[in-house]
Structure 1
Amino acid sequence: MMTTLAHTDEQQGAAVRSAVWLMLAVLACLSVWLINGRPLFYFDTVAYVSQGHNGLRQLGWSAESPLAGRGAALREAGVPAPDIAQIEADKTVDGSRSAVYALIAGALARLRMLEGLIVLNVAAVLAAVWLPMRVALRVWGGDMPIGKAVALPIIVASLGSLPFLIAYLMPDTFAPVLLLVIATLVAFAQHMRPWEIAFAVALGALAIVTHLSHLAIAALMVPASALVSVFVARRQWWLAPALVALIVGIGFAEQSVLRSAARSVAGAEVVIKPYITARMIQDGPGLDYLNEHCPDANIPTCKLHAALQWSDDPYRITATHIVFETSPRLGSFRLMAPEDQKAVADDQIRFFLAVLADRPLDTMAAFLKNTLIQSRWVAVDLTLPTDSVVNQNRGVTGLLLSDFDHGRLTRDRSWFGPVTVAQEILYALSLLVIAVLLLLPGRVPAPLKALAVTVLLGILANALVCGGISQPSTRYGARVIWLLPLVATMMLIFARHGRREVAP
């Protein structure tokens, strides 16, 4: 009886310690939001809210728009309202933004609870770290409470960009969550219980549908996961890549459902902005191809080439100006007729393949250059709203505890330089720790090495997709780079078990 009571007390004590550690991890995640006093946001935050509001209205949920006072607020500030949703004008829906994330943002904004996106970020990160640590503790044992095993890596990662992404009202947090899910499946699929696999697939499915770039990253990770799995598991090596392929399939299914819903509910067509085309033009191979082959009625992108001749300003060739600019001096794509915009957007994959076939070395060199640039850009500057971003979101009423304005961290940025240097040192040390533990034999269990390698490949895939297809940006690097200190800490936790044999 006494033994049973002692065992019960020990379990209760472990549960309390785990709860305390998890509370510390949550506070670490929320640190930037708490210090700033307001969420962080971006140009596209209001666009997600607007698209979500329009989608909910089309689905039959009538409610006051969270953007009702936005027009007046912008006019009062002397700021022209940007073109956010084109569905009323030309019957198109911007497929570049996630419909799922937009609906979530729109619903929370209508309820004036947009801070719920921060809660969603925290929950997703905790779940993505909890799952591999749970399986690892079960496989290798150890006396560390699960709460501490989950919290320590998150607390260390919070010294980097993680809390900035948590406070960011954008879907970027789900890119590293997706990579963690994929890495968990590669490392532990053979050790996971059926419900754990189902949970991982569900979390991966949520992550992949929150941004279009996540679908491209996950598609690249299918062969990467197969390659790593061969070295981890001689038997059933195919299980992890099959599960990753399932997540990718869910992402493609979501895109198909979006297009069907747009046609049936709103009578609209889904159009994805020509990011690939713009990137190819700015890098050079795409522009050279168009200069050589245009005008040609059989090449829809020649319509964009003609629009680029409307001005002689060299900056009109940059990808950002091609996709977004509306001024006569710098604009091109957005100044074209809606039907021509759709033709150019729909042609971007064929255009990329044509340029690749015509100029393979130049195209591959451009992708490699952009990937290397993107892999080095990891600062959190683009998570911090500028005056322009504040004005873009002015008048949106979706927040419960504050409004879209500057906070303590964004009014005075004197801290940014020293913090950026400290974070870069953290990332470099973390990468060094990972490399040492990967190379030292017997120090870290093979599945955990597989998890680390998969995460590293995922960071490179993120750089390739975002830098090569879209445009190198610190935002894209910052969203995944906190995985380095997180994974380094996970490896250090289990380094002492590295000499033990891992049984299936």
Structure 2
Amino acid sequence: MSLRLHSRIAGGWAVLAAACLLCLAAVWNGQPLLYPDTPTYLRGAEMGAGKALGGRVAPWLPAEPAPAADAPASTPQAADAARPKGLTSVEDKVVLAGRSVYYGALLYASHLAGSLWLTVALQALCVAYLLQLLMVRLWGLGTRHLLGTVAALGLLTPLAAYTGFLMPDIFAGLGILAMATLAAYWQRLGRADRIALSLLLLFGLCAHASHVVIAAALLGVGLLARLSTRRWKHLPGAAFAVAGACIVAAVAAEWVFNQAVTRAVGAPPLRMPHPMARLVDMGPGTDYLRRNCPRAGYEACAFLANYPTAWDDFLFSTDPNKGAFALADAAGKRRMAAEQLRFVADVVRHDPAGVAAGVAADVLRQLALFRVDIWGYGPRELAMYEGRVPPSLYAGMRASRGAYNPRYNQWLSAATYLSTAAAVLALLWWWRRASSAGALSPAAEPRRFADFLWITLAGIALNALVCASLASSADRFQARVIWLLPFLALSALALAYARRPTETTAAASPPPSLNPSSTTSLQGSAS
């Protein structure tokens, strides 16, 4: 057996082993973790498949039994009252943008194949592939370092929980890692890995609109740094071009979805008024409406008595004393969505200092908010799924370890805060050690790792900026990427203490070029 084939087989087994470790959280729970938006993603893809195939698709929910012959006739009003309520209504031509049909297609394909566990397995393989590429093939650390790091991240950070989470959140962190890898290691990546990273990035961007904004901001920051400072001029333009092409392709995919919805239901999808909800919650929006309604003519004026209200209540609550968007009829929802940009401009003109201070405070708060709150279902949460998921899945949710049990969330949240604090200290130690040793000079190989580190840190910060600005500060938004900090710290420590067989040789000769199948280290031998 050739050395290259042996390396590929060993690498494949390492990826599979790491993926299995990442699935353990969901396995321990008894089923993948769901979120109230999960059925919405899946039903959107199901509707698209039904339109494309003329209705010949396997349904997500089983058909309701036909009424008995002697049962009283149901009136249209009774049928409407019995129908599960939601924000979307094809009959009323209300389809929401922001729930990616592409991620929904992954869920629906798993459903058609027989199990939603297939989505968990694919997400785990994506994470494992990227970590193995970085740790083993690019940094030259051994498989034991990879598996040890994955196990630590699975136990002490939200990584495994988000891998088993049937939402696109895991692709936020993977998108940041993919962009950092392309930028820092472009010359050392083979064609196959460049293609794989590009496809992973593209799917991640198609999976959620916030990922596109984060990637575009990260690309903009990188281009600005490359053009304006000598420190970053060495970053390859080809990597920026690939990232830009993925962003353009993701925007084009969203346009295709919009056109398909318009043709299918007769109206374009609605973009939920997150900025409007955020400004009402923050205060300046409420103050503006109180001073200018009904003269301003905004649809939001109809719910003035409910303000101030939390941003998520504004959007989703059907409580007549809290909600707004969900309470509006179809025409009202459409007007509210169409008015949001004008509303933002008016509120900024009304109170620019208040808006700036509120956004800045939210961004700072978001950086420190990353409790794990996706694990577990109480009575209120379970009620949100009843009638929206198949009975067998609902029964599994009720029987899962997370049902009625917040302890895992509490334990993992505490572990996440402790591991993140330790990661910050470890990275500061690594940076001081590397700087004092002259290891970060332009000719030194650790410089590539430093580039990778800074790009990833910028992605984490931009995630907080985008989520807090466009929605609001919430634990789930930052928890989805916070595992990147302990990953960077564990990798830096492993690289610092990796055995180097010939320090003088490594310092005197340029590192060899790696192809995707090589396991030779540029910073040390595989251990």
Q: Does 1:385 align with 2:384?
A: no
Shift of 1:369: 1.0
Shift of 1:235: 4.2
**Counterpart selection for 2:193 from 191, 196, 207:** 196
* 132 and 347 in structure 1: CA distance in 2 versus 1, 3 angstrom threshold: farther
Shift of 1:503: 7.8
For residues 391 and 120 of structure 2, the distance between their equivalents in structure 1, rounded to whole angstroms, comes to: 13
Give 1:56-135 correspondences, 5 Å limit: 56-60=49-53, 61-68=55-62, 81-83=84-86, 85-88=88-91, 90-133=92-135
Partner of 2:464: 463
Letter in 2 for 1:272: R
8 Å Cα contact 1:375-1:460 kept in structure 2: yes
SS in 1 for 2:169: helix
* 186 and 11 in structure 1: CA distance in 2 versus 1, 3 angstrom threshold: closer
For residues 16 and 239 of structure 1, the distance between their equivalents in structure 2, rounded to whole angstroms, comes to: 30
Shift of 1:365: 1.4
Report Cα offsets for 1:94-137 as digits up to 9, x if no partner. Answer: 10211111222233334442122201211221233234346624
Letter in 2 for 1:303: E
Q: Does 1:437 align with 2:422?
A: no
Give 1:337-356 correspondences, 5 Å limit: 337-356=329-348
**Counterpart selection for 2:154 from 153, 158, 170:** 158
* 232 and 113 in structure 1: CA distance in 2 versus 1, 3 angstrom threshold: farther
* 23 and 261 in structure 1: CA distance in 2 versus 1, 3 angstrom threshold: closer
Report Cα offsets for 1:426-474 as digits up to 9, x if no partner. Answer: 1111122122223431456111111111111111111122222212222
Q: Does 1:278 align with 2:284?
A: no
8 Å Cα contact 1:91-1:268 kept in structure 2: yes
Q: Does 1:307 align with 2:267?
A: no
Stretches of structure 2 that go unaligned for 5 or more consecutive residues are 67-77, 441-445, 514-527
Q: Does 1:404 align with 2:403?
A: no
Partner of 1:259: 258
SS in 2 for 1:458: helix
8 Å Cα contact 2:36-2:384 kept in structure 1: yes
8 Å Cα contact 2:16-2:128 kept in structure 1: no
For residues 232 and 199 of structure 1, the distance between their equivalents in structure 2, rounded to whole angstroms, comes to: 28
Letter in 1 for 2:314: I
Partner of 1:177: 174
* 364 and 406 in structure 1: CA distance in 2 versus 1, 3 angstrom threshold: farther
Q: Does 1:324 align with 2:316?
A: yes
More divergent stretch after superposition (257-266 vs 222-231): 222-231
Partner of 2:325: 333
For residues 134 and 70 of structure 1, the distance between their equivalents in structure 2, rounded to whole angstroms, comes to: 52
* 150 and 283 in structure 1: CA distance in 2 versus 1, 3 angstrom threshold: same
SS in 1 for 2:95: strand
Letter in 2 for 1:98: S
For residues 186 and 163 of structure 2, the distance between their equivalents in structure 1, rounded to whole angstroms, comes to: 28
**Counterpart selection for 2:354 from 356, 359, 362:** 362
The normalised TM-score by structure 2 is 0.81
8 Å Cα contact 2:20-2:124 kept in structure 1: no
For residues 355 and 33 of structure 1, the distance between their equivalents in structure 2, rounded to whole angstroms, comes to: 44
* 85 and 106 in structure 1: CA distance in 2 versus 1, 3 angstrom threshold: farther
8 Å Cα contact 1:176-1:483 kept in structure 2: yes
For residues 13 and 191 of structure 2, the distance between their equivalents in structure 1, rounded to whole angstroms, comes to: 29
SS in 1 for 2:487: helix
Shift of 1:400: 8.4
8 Å Cα contact 1:426-1:485 kept in structure 2: yes
Partner of 2:71: none
More divergent stretch after superposition (239-248 vs 365-374): 239-248
Stretches of structure 1 that go unaligned for 5 or more consecutive residues are none
8 Å Cα contact 1:223-1:241 kept in structure 2: no
Partner of 1:241: 240
Partner of 2:479: 478
Shift of 1:186: 2.3
8 Å Cα contact 1:25-1:152 kept in structure 2: no
SS in 1 for 2:315: helix
8 Å Cα contact 2:377-2:405 kept in structure 1: no
For residues 137 and 11 of structure 2, the distance between their equivalents in structure 1, rounded to whole angstroms, comes to: 16
* 405 and 225 in structure 1: CA distance in 2 versus 1, 3 angstrom threshold: farther
* 269 and 401 in structure 1: CA distance in 2 versus 1, 3 angstrom threshold: closer
For residues 14 and 124 of structure 2, the distance between their equivalents in structure 1, rounded to whole angstroms, comes to: 15
* 123 and 16 in structure 1: CA distance in 2 versus 1, 3 angstrom threshold: closer
For residues 199 and 205 of structure 2, the distance between their equivalents in structure 1, rounded to whole angstroms, comes to: 10
* 53 and 405 in structure 1: CA distance in 2 versus 1, 3 angstrom threshold: farther
Supply the RMSD in Å over aligned alpha carbons.
Answer: 3.2
For residues 422 and 373 of structure 2, the distance between their equivalents in structure 1, rounded to whole angstroms, comes to: 21
For residues 290 and 200 of structure 1, the distance between their equivalents in structure 2, rounded to whole angstroms, comes to: 46
For residues 6 and 194 of structure 2, the distance between their equivalents in structure 1, rounded to whole angstroms, comes to: 29
8 Å Cα contact 1:201-1:247 kept in structure 2: yes
Give the percent of matched residue pairs that are identical in Structure 1 and Structure 2: 24
SS in 2 for 1:329: coil
* 251 and 350 in structure 1: CA distance in 2 versus 1, 3 angstrom threshold: farther
* 268 and 40 in structure 1: CA distance in 2 versus 1, 3 angstrom threshold: same
Shift of 1:175: 0.7
Shift of 1:228: 5.3
More divergent stretch after superposition (331-340 vs 225-234): 225-234
8 Å Cα contact 2:41-2:104 kept in structure 1: yes
Report Cα offsets for 1:257-296 as digits up to 9, x if no partner. Answer: 1111112233231101101110011112222333344434
For residues 408 and 358 of structure 2, the distance between their equivalents in structure 1, rounded to whole angstroms, comes to: 35
For residues 355 and 336 of structure 1, the distance between their equivalents in structure 2, rounded to whole angstroms, comes to: 22
Q: Does 1:38 align with 2:31?
A: yes
* 485 and 430 in structure 1: CA distance in 2 versus 1, 3 angstrom threshold: same
SS in 1 for 2:244: helix
8 Å Cα contact 1:114-1:398 kept in structure 2: no
Letter in 2 for 1:329: N
* 162 and 292 in structure 1: CA distance in 2 versus 1, 3 angstrom threshold: same
More divergent stretch after superposition (371-380 vs 387-396): 387-396
Letter in 1 for 2:96: D
For residues 6 and 241 of structure 2, the distance between their equivalents in structure 1, rounded to whole angstroms, comes to: 40
For residues 50 and 70 of structure 1, the distance between their equivalents in structure 2, rounded to whole angstroms, comes to: 16
* 292 and 53 in structure 1: CA distance in 2 versus 1, 3 angstrom threshold: same
For residues 21 and 205 of structure 1, the distance between their equivalents in structure 2, rounded to whole angstroms, comes to: 25
* 355 and 182 in structure 1: CA distance in 2 versus 1, 3 angstrom threshold: farther
Figure out how many residues of one structure are paired with residues of the other and give that number. Answer: 479
More divergent stretch after superposition (49-58 vs 192-201): 192-201
Report Cα offsets for 1:318-349 as digits up to 9, x if no partner. Answer: 21111111232222222223223212213323
Partner of 2:289: 290
